[in-house]
Structure formats: C-alpha cells, structure tokens
C-alpha cells in the first residue's frame, strides 16, 4: 500500500478503513479485521460514536501506535473554540492515544443546515485556530477539513496561519466534485474520497457493474480504484472479513478512456441511503 506525503511531510496510507455506521460495540471486531488485512489507516469521527471501539482495537492489535494512522473529526455542530477544544480532548481520551494523526472539521455547517445559506465562515475560522493550537502542541500531526467547498477552503486559507492539509469529500463514480479536487490539488491539499462505493448504491448501477465485469473485478474494487486514479486517498467501508480483504486487491488499471466515461456518469440515486442517520439522529438529540 502506497503512502501519500502531505505538504507538512506527514505520510498517510492511500487507502483507509472507513468506520461510518459501524457501531461502537462492533468497531473492535471490524477494525481488528482491517488491521489484520493490512490496513494501517483508520478513519473515525466523533459523530460516528465509535472512537472508543476504534481505540480498543488499536490497543489490542499488537501493533505499535506509530504504525497506525488515525483520523477523527470535530463534530459539525461544534462551532466555537471552547467546544472544539473540549471535543479534541475528548477524542484523545476516547481513542486512548497521546496524539491523533489527522483531525478534521467534519463539515462547514451543522448537518441540519448542510449546504444551506448560512455558511459559518467566522465560526469555522475559530474552530480552525483550535486545530492549529493542537497541531503546534504536537497533539495532532496533521489538520484538515471535510465536506468543504472551494469558498469554505478559501475562507480558512485567507484568515488562518496554517492551510488545510486534507479535505475529505464525498467522491465516487457518479459524484466526482472536480472543481474541489482541482482546487485542492493546485493548492497542495490532499483529497480524501469517502463513500467511494456510493453508500453501496454503486453495486446496483448497471453501467458500473458492466465496467467492473470488463476488468474482471468486483464493483467495489472498481470504485476504489477509480478514486485512487483520481489521485485521492480512498476510504472504503466494509464489515465482513471477505470484503475488507477484497477491497485491497487492486492490481489493475482503469484505462484513460474508461476513467473519462466514469467521470461523466450521471449522478447515482442514493434512495433510502440519502438519509444519513448517523448525523441527523445524533444531532436532533443534542
């Protein structure tokens, strides 16, 4: 597995194990399976509610702490320095680690206001400055954002000392935000692609299935390879040993013509998966 070097020199594995919608009780089993399969990059978040389970798996894995790259994210609803500072301290405690490899602002807006008119530019600067504090204190090795659009990124870059090292975005066949990808790549900000299998809906897409058959690979393998060939860091999620292992078997190349065809593919209908309970349910209870 190749590592990607961030602009501050920190290296991050190009494939990470995503833990969205993995319950805290099941996280130790799933993360252990991922580590046994060869993953060394684990992506979690405060909103996922599974940091304790992730930390337990890492502690019991037998691997040295420095061998595992851990990501977490400040809750999208925490838009003040006080809340952000406490949330990072809580993540460190729940994960049971002395430092976190990558910490992100989970979203520029609270999820219930996602992509609404209110942009929270001032609040995101305040939260970002807390990330800078923890970065300078060596409690976080790299800092970044998630779900940020170009103007959200420019807001941070124009008002803060340290620019983001990573932007984690929804990116998959049928939803490839080329404007954000291009901006990040031009500004030396690494892009992470979450939900590369389109919340699982790619498995039912006729065009994607047909393309996977052409390469004699699974739909999941095609989707993950697609994001890697966009020069993004891919974050697939799986819970079974077979799928966790298969998602690393990527010894093939998608042709340039087929990449162009996949980039142009129409938007995928998420159906019931368009509702994201991991965020909405938790945040209604706040």
Catalytic residues: 48
Q: Give the Cα separation of 24 and 52 in Å (integer).
A: 7
Q: Give the Cα separation of 16 and 104 in Å (integer).
A: 15
Residue 176 CB burial class (10 angstroms; 0-12, 13-18, ≥19) = buried
Element (H, E) at 273: none
Q: Give the Cα separation of 51 and 20 in Å (integer).
A: 11
Say if CB 137 and CB 113 are below 8 A apart.
Answer: no
Rg (CA), the chain: 18
What 3-state class would DSSP assign to 188?
Answer: coil
Phi, psi of 128 (to 5 degrees): -60, -40
Q: Give the Cα separation of 240 and 4 in Å (integer).
A: 27
What 3-state class would DSSP assign to 209?
Answer: helix
Q: Which long-range contacts (CB under 8 A, 24 or more apart) does 11-14 make?
A: 12/41, 12/69, 12/101, 12/102, 12/142, 12/166, 12/190, 12/233, 13/39, 13/40, 13/41, 13/69, 13/233, 14/228, 14/233, 14/234
């Amino acid at each position: 597995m190749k590592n990607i070097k961030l602009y501050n020199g920190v290296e991050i594995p190009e494939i990470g194990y995503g833990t969205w919608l993995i319950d805290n009780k099941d996280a130790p089993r799933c993360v252990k399976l991922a580590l046994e399969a060869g993953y060394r990059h684990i992506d979690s978040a405060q909103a996922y509610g599974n940091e304790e389970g992730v930390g337990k798996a890492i502690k019991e894995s037998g691997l040295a702490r420095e061998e595992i790259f851990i990501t977490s994210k400040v809750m999208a609803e925490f838009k003040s320095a006080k809340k952000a500072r406490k949330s990072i301290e809580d993540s460190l405690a729940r994960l049971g680690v002395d430092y976190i490899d990558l910490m992100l602002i989970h979203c520029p807006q609270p999820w219930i206001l996602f992509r609404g008119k209110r942009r929270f530019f001032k609040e995101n600067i305040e939260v970002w400055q807390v990330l800078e504090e923890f970065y300078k204190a060596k409690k976080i090795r790299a800092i970044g954002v998630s779900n940020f659009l170009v103007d959200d990124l420019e807001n941070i870059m124009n008002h803060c000392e340290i620019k983001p090292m990573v932007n984690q975005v929804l990116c998959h066949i049928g939803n490839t935000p080329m404007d954000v990808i291009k901006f990040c790549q031009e500004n030396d900000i690494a892009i992470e692609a979450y939900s590369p299998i389109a919340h699982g809906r790619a498995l039912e897409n006729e065009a994607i299935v047909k393309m996977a058959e052409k390469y004699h690979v699974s739909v999941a393998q095609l989707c993950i390879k697609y994001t890697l060939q966009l020069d993004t860091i891919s974050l697939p999620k799986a819970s079974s040993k077979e799928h966790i292992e298969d998602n690393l078997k990527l010894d093939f190349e998608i042709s340039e013509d087929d990449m162009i065809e996949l980039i142009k593919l129409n938007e995928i209908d998420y159906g019931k998966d368009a509702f994201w309970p991991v965020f909405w349910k938790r945040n209604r209870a706040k």
